[in-house]
Amino acid sequence: MVAPDVGFGVGDVDFSKTDGIIPGVVQHARTRQVLMVGFLDEQALTTTIQTGLATFYSRSRGAQWTKGETSGNVLRVEGIELDCDRDTLLLHVIPTGPTCHTGEQTCFDPGARPGSFVHELDELVRGRHEERPEGSYTTTLFDAGVRRIAQKVGEEGVETALAAVAQDDEALLGESADLVYHLLVLLRSRDLGLADVERVLRERHG
């Protein structure tokens, strides 16, 4: 398992302000949706960094627990940030299933989606690439291979440009949506995703 990207040491965290326990905001590393809030003591943070699995301190039980140790819906931690006051953590995670005990993806209102839907779609495409469910259009594209997917991206790109030239806004939006979807499929066929494109854009932005 890949170790989380952590730009600070456990000793940098100020646990003294809140009697040894600090809040940890858990955010989906791709969609940016907030999934839950947990609490960590020094041991829980150390375990999280060492195992790459989100581990918290249960205030009711007075013990450490790893999210998903019973359900299997663990949170794989990609990175951890420490806030400016050094007493709150932000955990960037990839969930392996629903985060909330209710079966929802988030412990907050599942209808409120402040994150990016394009990232959600990218995650859906990734799942289709791994699972290849029968009857899925995305599965048929992956099965057809990268050349066919690239052809579809080309076709959708031309149709998007034509819609723009025709000044048909509704058609432009529809073709743009088709283009973005097929581009995500093309990227995933090469084991790439939206996060990789964002990284290149950030590097170019300087």
Domain count, the chain: 2
Residue by residue, pLDDT tens for the chain (206 residues) are 678 999 999 999 999 988 899 999 999 988 788 999 999 999 999 999 999 999 999 988 899 999 998 899 999 999 999 999 999 999 999 999 899 989 888 898 766 555 578 888 998 999 999 999 999 999 999 999 999 999 999 999 999 999 999 999 999 999 999 999 999 999 999 999 988 998 899 899 87
The verdict on residue 108 lying in a domain is no
Strand partners, 92: 27, 79
Residue of 67, 93, 68 lying closest to 80 (CA atoms): 93
Pairing status of strand 55-58 against strand 75-82: unpaired
Please tell me the distance from the alpha carbon of residue 187 to that of residue 153, in angstroms, as a whole number. Answer: 11
Tokens matching residue 42 = 């020094």
Would the pTM count as exceeding 0.75? no
User: How many Cα neighbours within 13 Å face the side chain of 113?
Assistant: 12
Range of 14's domain?
A: 5-95
The verdict on residue 74 lying in a domain is yes
Do both 71 and 148 map to the same domain? no
Do both 78 and 126 map to the same domain? no
